[in-house]
C-alpha cells in the first residue's frame, strides 16, 4: 500500500465508482481503476486519504453473489487492522440481495521502512447494487473484473510461453508435487493451509501429487504427459525434490521441448531451500517473513525467468544440477548431518561445530576454464511469462455467501484438512490418503524402456581425456571446493553473492589447506552474509567448466544436496536452459 496514492502515475481513470461505508456513515470511498492499479480514496468530513494497490500486487479477482444467509454483507478489504487498510462497508438491508460483489485479492508490501518487510494479503470487496436485479449488477462487477484482468495480462505483455504446434494440450493447469517427508515433514499441511488458498484466489487449476518414496516424482515427470500441466510444475519440498524433477525431465526423449515449454517453481518445505531463497534474493522480495507466501506469489505472477543448469559428469553417471557441486567440508556436513534430520536447519550448525573441531583437508587436482571478463560472458536473459490470466469464469453458478469480516477464501483455512485434500479446496485434485497408490491415478503414462539422462551435448572432453590446454590446473590440498550457480545454497548460506539465475557462470569457491581454524570459523560465520571472500586461503573463481579429481578418499561429492559416488567429477554450465517463476524481472 502506497500511502501517497502513487500520485505520479498517469492516473487516467478506466473505471470509477463511489461506495459508502455502513459503520461510519460520513465516509465515502471513490474507487478508481487506472492502468497502474486501484486507488481507494476515502472522503470524510472534507478530508481525503488515498490508498493505492499496484496492479503488480493483485493476484486475482472474483465476482460473487450473496446467498442471503448472512445478515450483514461487507465490502471489506480488512485482513489487517492497521490504519493503512481501507474499509468499505455497506449494509445488508434486503433478504433478497441482488447485489453483485467483486473481490480483489492482493499482496501488499508492508513495513518497507523497517527491517521486517513482508507481503500482507489484502482483499477489497466491492458491492455493486445500482440496479434492482442481480444480472445488471453482475454486468457492472464483471466490467470491473475484466478491466482488472486485462491489466494483469498487460503486465505480462511481450513475454510469451513457448507454444506447442497444436492445442490438444490443456495448457492452463499446474502440477503440484509435494514431498511429505521433506524438512520436518509438514509439507502437506503447508500446501493446504498456505499455498492452495493463493492458487484459488488466482484461479489456478492444479493437480496434486504426494510423493510416496524417493524417485517417485522423478518417475512421474519422466513418464507422464507433462504438457497438460502447461502452467508448470511446482515442487513443495526441498532442493532434493527439484533435483528429481529436473533429472526426470532430462530422461525424457522430448527433454528439449519439455524444458522449453514448462516453467518450474519451488515452495520451500525442505531443510535446504537454496533455490527458493536465491530467486527472492535476485528479485528483491522479502523472503524471510514468510517464505511460503513469497514463493507462491512467484507462481501466480505468471512471470518466468531463464535459469542455468549444470551438466555434471562422474565416471559412472551424468546428472543435471541447478544448485551446486560440493566436495570437502560443506558437502561432508550436508551428508553426515542427515542423521540429525529431525532438527531441520540446526542440524547443519550442530554438525558444523563437530567437524570444525576435527578439520580435515584432502589432496586433489582441480582444473577449470576461467571466465576472465565477466561482463562479456554469455547472458541469455529470456524474461518471459505465461499469459494465463483468464479471469473469465465468474463464480455465480452457486451463490456464494459473504460473511462480514470473513473472506470467503479464509473459510478454506479454517477447515480441518489434515489427511485428505478434499475437492472443496481444489477444482481438480487427485490424491489418495494411501500414498502408495496416489500416482496410479495419473493418466497418460508413457513407459520408456531405456532410461538415461539426455540433455544438451557436452562441449568439454570426457573425463577419460585430458582437459583442454587453456584450462588452469592446480594440484594441492583443499579443505573444500564448492561450486554454486545460485546465490544461496541454502536459506542461510550466501555462497556466491554475485551469482544470478542466468549468468552462465559456475562460481567456484575454493578453500585451500593452510587456513587456520580461526579463519575457517570466520569464513563459516561470514557465509550467511556473503562476506566470506576476503579471508586468506579463500578464493572465488568464475568458470564455465571445471574438473575435480580427488587424489584420496574420505570426503563426499554432493550435487544439489544428493550424494554421488566418489570419483573424478566435471561440470559445465548450460546457460538458461530452464525457466522458473519469479514475481519480478530477474537481473
Joined together, the cell numbers standing for residue 109 give 508490501
325 closest CA partner among 239, 215, 392, 417: 239
Q: How far is the CB of 152 from Mg ion (least distance, A)?
A: 29
User: Which of 196, 319 has the CB closer to Mg ion?
Assistant: 319
Q: What's the gap between Cα 515 and its chain centre? A: 37
Q: Crossing angle of helices 517-526/346-357, nearest 10°?
A: 170
In the complex with Mg ion, the residue whose CB is nearer, 491 or 503, is: 503
| Contacting residues toward ligand ADP, per CB under 6 A | 179-183, 211-214, 216, 237-241, 244, 270-272
Which of Mg ion, ligand ADP, none is residue 241 near (CB under 5 to 8 Å by kind)? ligand ADP
Using CB distances below 5 to 8 A depending on partner kind, what does residue 251 bind out of Mg ion, ligand ADP, none? none
Cell reading at 329: 567440508
Residue nearer to ligand ADP on the CB measure, 86 or 294: 294
State which residue, 195 or 545, has the beta carbon closest to Mg ion. 545
Pair 321, 559: CB distance under 8 Å: yes
* 26-51 core/surface letters (b: 16 or more CB in 10 A; e: else): ebebbbbbbbbbbbbbbeeeeeeebb
Q: Which three-class secondary structure state does DSSP give residue 352?
A: helix
The angle formed by the CA atoms of residues 57, 104 and 35, to the nearest 5 degrees, is 55
User: Edge to edge, what strands does the sheet with 100-110 contain?
Assistant: 58-65, 100-110, 118-128
Beta partners for 363?
Answer: 477
Residue 241 CB, nearest distance to ligand ADP (Å)? 4
77 binds, among ligand ADP, Mg ion, none (CB under 5 to 8 A by kind): none
> Which residue of the chain is nearest Mg ion when measured via CB?
485
* Contact of residue 213 among Mg ion, ligand ADP, none (CB under 5-8 Å per partner type): ligand ADP
What, of Mg ion, ligand ADP, none, does residue 183 touch, CB below 5 to 8 Å by kind? ligand ADP
Burial class for 405, CB neighbours closer than 10 Å (0-12, 13-18, 19+): exposed
Smaller CB separation from Mg ion, 124 or 493: 493
Rounded distance, CA 315 to CA 328, Å? 19
Q: Give the residue with the Cβ less far from ligand ADP, 67 or 420.
A: 420
**Exposed e or buried b per residue across 170-199, where buried means at least 16 C-beta atoms within 10 angstroms of its C-beta:** ebebbbbbbbbbbbeeebbebbbbbbbbbb
Minimum CB distance to ligand ADP, residue 442 (Å):
15
Which CB sits closer to ligand ADP, 239 or 332? 239
Residue 399, contacted partner among Mg ion, ligand ADP, none, CB below 5-8 A by kind: none
Three-state DSSP at 566 gives: coil
CB of 236 to ligand ADP, least distance (A): 8
Detail the DSSP E strand segments found in 377-436: 383-385
Residues 6 or more apart whose CB falls under 8 angstroms from that of 126 comprise 17, 19, 31, 75, 88, 101, 102, 104, 141, 144
The smaller minimum CB distance to ligand ADP, of residues 103 and 335, is found at 335
Q: Which does 211 bind (CB under 5 to 8 A by kind): ligand ADP, Mg ion, none?
A: ligand ADP
To the nearest whole angstrom, how small is the minimum distance from the Cβ of residue 480 to ligand ADP? 20
Helix (H, G, I), strand (E, B) or coil at 456: coil
What is the smallest separation between the CB atom of 270 and ligand ADP, expressed in angstroms? 2
Count Cα atoms within 13 angstroms, Cβ side, for 383: 12
Look at residue 244 and give the partner it binds from ligand ADP, Mg ion, none, a contact being a CB closer than 5 to 8 Å depending on partner kind.
ligand ADP
Please choose which of Mg ion, ligand ADP, none residue 286 contacts, taking the beta carbon within 5 to 8 angstroms, the exact cut-off set by kind: none
Tally of CB atoms within 10 A around 108: 22
Minimum gap (Å) between residue 459 Cβ and Mg ion: 18
Find the shortest distance in angstroms from Cβ 170 to ligand ADP. 26
Cell numbers describing residue 299? 507462481
Query: In terms of CB distance, is 206 or 546 closer to Mg ion?
Result: 546
Smallest distance, ligand ADP to C-beta of residue 383, A:
28
74 and 104 Cβ atoms separated by less than 8 Å: no
Q: Which is nearer to ligand ADP, 386 or 438 (CB)?
A: 438
Closest separation between CB of residue 293 and ligand ADP, Å? 19
Q: Which does 485 bind (CB under 5 to 8 A by kind): ligand ADP, Mg ion, none?
A: Mg ion
Least Å distance, CB 478 to Mg ion, is: 22
From Mg ion, ligand ADP, none, which one binds at residue 503 (CB under 5 to 8 Å depending on kind)? Mg ion
Residue for grid cell 459508502 = 20
Find which of ligand ADP, Mg ion, none residue 240 binds, CB within 5 to 8 Å per kind. Answer: ligand ADP
The residue behind cell 542461510 is: 492
Partner from Mg ion, ligand ADP, none contacting 499, C-beta within 5 to 8 A by type = Mg ion
Instruction: Closer to ligand ADP by CB, 269 or 575: give it.
Output: 269
**Dihedral angle of Cα 154, 156, 158, 159, to the nearest 10 degrees:** -160
- Taking the complex as a whole, the smallest distance from the CB of residue 465 to ligand ADP amounts, in Å, to 32
Q: Which residue, 144 or 485, is less far from Mg ion as judged by CB?
A: 485
CA distances from 200 to 149, 210, 283, 296, 582 (A): 15, 19, 24, 11, 19
CB of 8 to ligand ADP, least distance (A): 44
Residues in the chain: 587
Measured at CB, which residue is nearest to ligand ADP? 238
* β-bridge mates for residue 303, sequence order: 385
Residues at the site binding Mg ion, with contacts judged by CB under 5 A: 308, 485, 499, 503
CA-atom Rg of the chain in angstroms: 26
Nearer residue to ligand ADP within complex by CB, 213 or 380? 213
CB 21 within 8 A of CB 5: no
User: Quick one: cell of 303?
Assistant: 512471470
Amino acid at each position: 500500500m502506497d500511502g501517497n496514492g502513487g500520485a505520479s502515475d498517469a492516473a487516467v481513470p478506466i473505471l470509477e465508482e463511489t461506495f459508502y461505508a455502513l459503520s461510519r456513515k460520513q465516509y465515502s470511498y471513490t474507487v478508481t481503476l487506472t492502468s497502474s492499479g486501484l486507488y481507494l480514496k476515502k472522503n470524510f468530513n472534507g478530508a481525503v486519504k488515498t490508498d493505492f494497490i499496484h496492479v503488480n500486487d493483485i493476484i486475482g479477482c472474483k465476482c460473487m453473489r450473496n446467498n442471503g444467509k448472512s445478515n450483514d454483507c461487507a465490502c471489506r478489504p480488512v485482513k489487517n487492522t492497521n490504519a493503512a487498510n481501507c474499509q468499505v462497508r455497506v449494509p445488508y438491508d434486503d433478504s433478497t440481495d441482488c447485489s453483485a460483489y467483486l473481490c480483489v485479492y492482493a499482496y501488499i508490501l508492508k513495513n518497507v521502512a523497517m527491517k521486517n518487510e513482508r507481503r500482507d494479503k489484502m482483499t477489497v470487496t466491492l458491492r455493486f447494487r445500482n440496479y434492482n436485479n442481480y444480472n445488471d449488477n453482475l454486468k457492472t462487477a464483471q466490467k470491473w473484473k475484466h478491466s482488472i484482468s486485462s491489466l494483469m495480462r498487460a503486465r505480462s505483455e511481450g513475454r510469451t510461453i513457448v507454444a506447442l504446434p497444436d492445442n490438444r494440450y490443456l495448457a492452463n493447469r499446474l502440477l503440484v508435487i509435494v514431498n511429505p517427508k521433506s524438512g520436518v515433514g509438514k509439507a502437506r499441511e503447508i500446501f493446504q493451509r498456505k499455498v492452495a488458498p493463493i492458487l484459488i484466489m488466482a484461479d489456478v487449476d492444479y493437480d496434486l501429487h504426494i510423493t510416496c518414496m524417493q524417485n517417485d516424482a522423478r518417475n512421474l515427470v519422466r513418464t507422464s504427459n507433462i504438457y497438460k500441466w502447461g502452467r508448470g510444475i511446482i515442487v513443495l519440498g526441498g532442493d532434493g525434490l527439484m533435483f528429481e524433477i529436473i533429472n526426470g525431465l532430462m530422461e525424457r526423449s522430448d527433454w528439449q521441448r519439455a524444458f522449453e515449454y514448462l516453467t518450474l517453481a519451488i515452495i520451500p518445505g525442505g531443510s535446504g531451500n537454496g533455490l527458493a531463497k536465491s530467486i527472492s534474493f535476485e528479485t528483491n522480495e522479502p523472503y524471510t517473513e514468510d517464505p511460503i507466501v513469497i514463493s507462491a506469489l512467484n507462481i501466480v505472477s505468471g512471470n518466468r525467468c531463464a535459469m542455468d543448469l549444470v551438466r555434471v559428469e562422474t565416471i559412472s553417471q551424468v546428472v543435471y544440477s541447478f544448485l551446486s557441486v560440493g566436495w570437502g567440508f560443506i558437502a561432508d556436513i550436508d551428508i553426515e548431518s542427515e542423521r540429525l534430520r529431525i532438527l531441520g536447519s540446526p542440524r547443519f550448525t550442530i554438525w558444523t561445530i563437530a567437524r570444525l573441531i576435527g578439520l580435515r583437508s584432502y589432496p586433489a587436482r582441480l582444473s577449470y576454464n576461467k571466465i576472465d571478463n565477466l561482463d562479456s560472458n554469455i547472458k541469455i536473459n529470456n524474461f518471459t511469462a505465461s499469459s494465463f490470466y483468464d479471469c473469465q469464469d465468474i463464480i455465480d453458478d452457486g451463490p456464494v455467501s459473504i460473511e462480514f469480516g470473513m473472506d470467503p477464501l479464509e473459510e478454506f483455512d479454517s477447515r480441518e484438512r489434515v489427511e485428505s485434500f478434499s475437492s472443496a479446496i481444489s477444482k481438480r485434485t487427485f490424491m489418495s490418503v494411501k500414498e502408495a497408490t496416489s500416482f496410479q491415478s495419473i493418466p497418460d503414462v508413457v513407459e520408456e524402456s531405456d532410461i538415461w539422462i539426455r540433455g544438451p551435448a557436452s562441449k568439454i572432453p570426457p573425463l577419460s581425456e585430458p582437459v583442454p590446454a587453456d584450462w588452469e590446473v592446480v594440484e594441492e590440498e583443499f579443505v573444500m571446493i564448492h561450486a554454486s550457480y545460485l546465490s544461496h545454497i541454502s536459506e542461510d548460506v550466501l555462497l556466491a553473492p554475485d551469482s544470478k539465475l542466468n549468468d552462465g557462470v559456475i562460481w567456484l569457491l575454493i578453500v585451500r589447506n593452510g587456513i587456520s581454524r580461526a579463519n575457517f570459523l570466520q569464513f563459516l560465520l561470514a557465509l550467511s552474509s556473503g562476506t566470506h571472500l576476503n579471508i586468506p586461503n579463500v578464493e572465488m573463481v568464475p568458470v564455465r567448466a571445471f574438473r575435480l579429481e580427488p587424489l584420496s578418499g574420505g570426503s563426499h561429492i554432493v550435487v544439489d544436496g544428493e550424494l554421488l559416488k566418489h570419483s573424478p567429477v566435471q561440470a559445465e554450465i548450460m546457460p538458461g536452459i530452464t525457466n522458473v517463476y519469479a514475481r519480478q524481472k530477474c537481473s
